[in-house]
Structures are given as C-alpha cells and as structure tokens.
Amino acid sequence: MTATVLFVTGTGTEVGKTAVTAAVAALAPSVAVLKPGQTGVTATEPGDAEEVARLAGPHVTIRELARYPEPLAPDTAARRSGLPTLRPQQVADAVAELASVHRLVLVEGAGGLLVRYDADGHTLADQALATAALGLRVQVLLVASAGLGTLNTTALTAEALRTRGLDTLGVVIGSWPADPDLATRCNLTDLPRAAGAPLLGALPHGAPHSPDFPTLAKSFLAPPLGGTWDAAAFTAAHPA
C-alpha cells in the first residue's frame, strides 16, 4: 500500500487545525490521524485526536505519542512536567507504522510550524523531514485564519516550508465567518499568493458543532482533499 502523509500545521494556535484535520479524515476511506504532542489536557481528558474521531467517524484510526497537562509549547510543557520530549525520529517511525496499513496519514502539529518539541529545538518541520527520509511521500497542509493579519503569518510559514524543501499541498481557512469583512473577502485572492499554494477550502465558523460534519466537510474542501468545494466560485460569491 502506497500511503500519502499529510502534516497539518497552522499559522498559529486556535486557527482550526483540528477541525480541518477532522474534515480531511472524514472524507478519506483509509486514514490514520497522529497527534505527536498534545498539550493542555490531563490524562483523563479527550484531546485533539479524540475530537477528530468524534467529528470524522469511527473509520479513523487515531494515535497520540505524548501528552502534557499544561497548555504550552510541547518542549516547555515537557520540561515543566518532567516528562520526556519527542524526537523527530519517534514521530517518523510512528507515521511509517501507520502508513503501512493506511492510504492516508494525517499528522496534526501543535501550534505553528516552528513550535519546539524538544530542547534541541526540533519542530514539526523536522518531524516531516525525518518522515520523508524514510521514503514516504510527505506534503504539508497549511491552516490559516481568515481575517486581517493572516497574510503575513501565512507567508512566513510558507517561506519556512520552502527553505526546508517541504511541499505545501495547499492552504485551508480554518474558520470562515458568517459575515466576512473586506479584509477577509480580499484574503480569498491573497492567501494563495501568500502561501504559494492553492486555496483548498474554507470551513464555516462553528463547523465542529454541525450534526452532519462529514457532509459539511465535503462541501467546504476542494477535490484534492476529497471534497467538492470550488475556490473560484466561492471567491466570486464573496466579492471584495
């Protein structure tokens, strides 16, 4: 089985990474979701991986490698809790194991691309590179916020990916507002230029609360992610 590995990163925290990860997982017939480092939840609380399973359905295999109770960067949270940090090779090996029995493996990062996972400063990008070094096909999906300020953080993340030789599949808006302002509407045109990659979706605000999340996901993700969403039509429907 030839698997695709998609690392899901964001331009920052609270931009909708988990919802987008769940949406992509909901539309894939053979999929595993890996959360390398979960922060801000205790051992008995559901984390992002469990939220993906709740939204996407029981066909999704979920796995988590490390959990830290404080809502901090993984390296800081590990240091404060006295728990081991994550090394890139640990993540790559877990991805390879999942890829051996699934056609798609989604790896959801914590925070943004360059958040530190260990004392040596290794990041989600290093995890992706370690995975690619095993011979797996690795791409990155960038989740961005919709409004003013998103172009700079999107461009910075895209530049960091390019300098590391990582392929950006596209960008998805993690939470599209019901009443988008001018800057938000303009970003439909400007975000793919900032990312140097196509716009592949825009999940509506509140999507995780939808009673039929998989149907919603299909409507708001583009064909490369398994949906029917059309960027040109969506942009035309929200003129600037």
Q: Length of the chain in residues, anyone? A: 240
* β-bridge partners, 67: 38
User: pTM value?
Assistant: 0.95
The predicted pLDDT at position 1 comes to 60
pLDDT digits (tens, 9 = 90+) for 83-99: 999 999 999 999 999 99
Provide the b/e sequence for 86-115 (b: ≥16 CB within 10 Å): bbbebbbebbbebbeebebbbbbbbbbbbb
Q: Which domains does the chain have, with CATH numbers?
A: 4-236 (3.40.50.300)
The predicted pLDDT at position 2 comes to 78
Which of 35, 67, 122, 205 is catalytic? The answer is 35
The predicted pLDDT at position 73 comes to 94
3-state secondary structure string across 93-133: HHHHHHHCCCCEEEEEEEEECCCCCCCCCCCHHHHHHHHHC
pLDDT digits (tens, 9 = 90+) for 54-83: 999 999 999 999 999 999 999 999 999 999
Active site residue 17: no
The predicted pLDDT at position 91 comes to 98
Which residues of the chain, if any, have pLDDT below 50?
none
